């Protein structure tokens, strides 16, 4: 009987411990933190606004924490990046081709943070780049316009 009580107590203890571990893990899981750094005001209705709108759509669709900085010059970029790194952001998106080299420099200092450069041309282990091929369509449009 004593052995049976010990086994029951042990099972209850293990179950309680497992439940506590699961809930503490769930409680510790914080939402992904994503920031975007923009070259112009989000009210510009162009390239900058499209990047901002994309981040807001991701915030709406997923459980993420977001932040943005607008009107950031290339000279101010490293400070903005380091600020987001210090705040623990998981992904920092820079929405300007001219931001490529400074982003790579700061990314090398912070290998645990992920970066993305829209319209970038150089990547690294923790830096992804995106680019489009709109110049092909623009070239064709220019040729057609020249024929008119």
Q: Can you say whether residue 88 is alpha, beta or left, with left for phi > 0 and alpha for psi between -120 and 50 degrees?
A: left
Judge whether 65 and 33 are in contact, CB under 8 Å. yes
Decide if pLDDT at 133 tops 70.
no
What is the CATH T-level fold of the domain 32-133, as seen in this structure? Rossmann fold (3.40.50)
Please, which pLDDT band fits residue 47 given cuts at 50, 70 and 90?
confident
User: Is the dihedral angle over the CA atoms 41, 42, 45, 49 positive or is it negative?
Assistant: positive
CA–CA dist 12, 141 (Å, integer): 73
pLDDT tens figures, 69-116: 999 999 999 999 999 999 999 999 998 888 889 999 999 999 999 999
Q: Two tokens at 56? A: 């807001």
Decide if pLDDT at 25 tops 90.
no
More reliable by pLDDT, 146 or 117: 117
Decide if pLDDT at 56 tops 50.
yes
DSSP 124: B
Task: Give pLDDT, residue 62.
Answer: 87
List the strands of the sheet with 114-118, edge to edge: 64-69, 32-37, 91-94, 114-118, 127-130
């Amino acid at each position: 009987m004593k052995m049976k009580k010990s086994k029951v107590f042990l099972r209850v203890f293990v179950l309680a411990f497992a439940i506590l571990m699961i809930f503490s893990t769930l409680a510790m899981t914080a939402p992904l933190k994503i920031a975007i750094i923009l070259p112009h005001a989000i009210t510009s209705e162009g390239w900058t606004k499209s990047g901002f709108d994309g981040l807001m759509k991701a915030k709406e669709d997923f459980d993420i924490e977001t932040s943005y900085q607008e009107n950031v010059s290339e000279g101010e970029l490293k400070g903005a990046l380091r600020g987001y790194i210090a705040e623990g952001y998981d992904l920092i998106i820079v929405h300007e081709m001219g931001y490529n080299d400074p982003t790579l420099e700061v990314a090398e200092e912070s290998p645990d943070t992920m970066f993305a450069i829209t319209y970038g041309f150089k990547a690294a282990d923790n830096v992804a780049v995106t680019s489009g091929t709109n110049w092909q369509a623009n070239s064709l449009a220019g040729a057609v316009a020249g024929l008119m």
